[in-house]
């Protein structure tokens, strides 16, 4: 079993399709929707798939065959260390404790593998050091 995170982009005509239901029912994947945005231009989901490489591959083929744009997210949120002032604001905001303060250097360390891409630190960082990937 593996975990892979993807961004799925839908045109407006696909927004109401039961895509995530099909991922579970037809491809036996465990899914976790991390972020969902819908507007007049369509929809965007950040989603985690858990399943075998073969199941994930088949699911991705289904999605692209149905005109869903798919992008694998190796790193959705990233920290620009040049801009970060180690103010600590993000440490208290992050709901999954994806930041740690190094007790020796007092630097704020970003733990990318814990991040669920909620975007709260991106909005809150006074130095604009946290960025959403595309």
Binding residues (CB under 6 A) for ligand SF4: these are 77, 79, 84-90, 93-94, 96, 98, 108, 115-121, 125, 127, 129-130
- Closer residue to ligand SF4 (CB): 24 or 120: 120
Q: How far is the CB of 89 from ligand SF4 (least distance, A)?
A: 4
| CB burial string 27-38: b at 16+ within 10 A, e below | bebebeebeeee
Q: How far is the CB of 8 from ligand SF4 (least distance, A)?
A: 18
- Closer residue to ligand SF4 (CB): 53 or 88: 88
Q: How far is the CB of 74 from ligand SF4 (least distance, A)?
A: 14
DSSP string, 61-113: HHHHHTT-EEEE-S-SEEE-TTT-----HHHHH-TT--EEE-TTT--EEE-GG
Q: How far is the CB of 10 from ligand SF4 (least distance, A)?
A: 22
> Strand pairing partners for 4?
49
Residue 49 CA to residue 12 CA, distance in Å, equals 23
The Cα angle at residue 76 between residues 67 and 90, in degrees rounded to 5: 145
- Closer residue to ligand SF4 (CB): 57 or 83: 83
- Closer residue to ligand SF4 (CB): 16 or 127: 127
């Amino acid at each position: 079993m593996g975990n892979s995170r993807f961004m799925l982009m839908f045109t407006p005509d696909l927004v109401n399709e039961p895509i995530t239901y099909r991922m579970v029912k037809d491809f036996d994947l465990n899914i976790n929707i991390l972020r969902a945005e819908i507007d007049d231009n369509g929809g965007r989901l950040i989603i985690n798939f858990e399943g075998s490489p073969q199941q994930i591959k088949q699911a991705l083929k289904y999605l692209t065959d149905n005109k869903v744009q798919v992008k694998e997210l190796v790193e959705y949120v990233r920290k620009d260390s040049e801009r970060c002032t180690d103010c600590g604001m993000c440490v208290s905001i992050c709901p999954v404790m994806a930041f740690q303060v190094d007790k020796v250097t007092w630097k704020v360390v970003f733990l990318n593998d814990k991040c669920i891409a909620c975007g709260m630190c991106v909005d809150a960082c006074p130095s604009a050091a946290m960025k959403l990937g595309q």
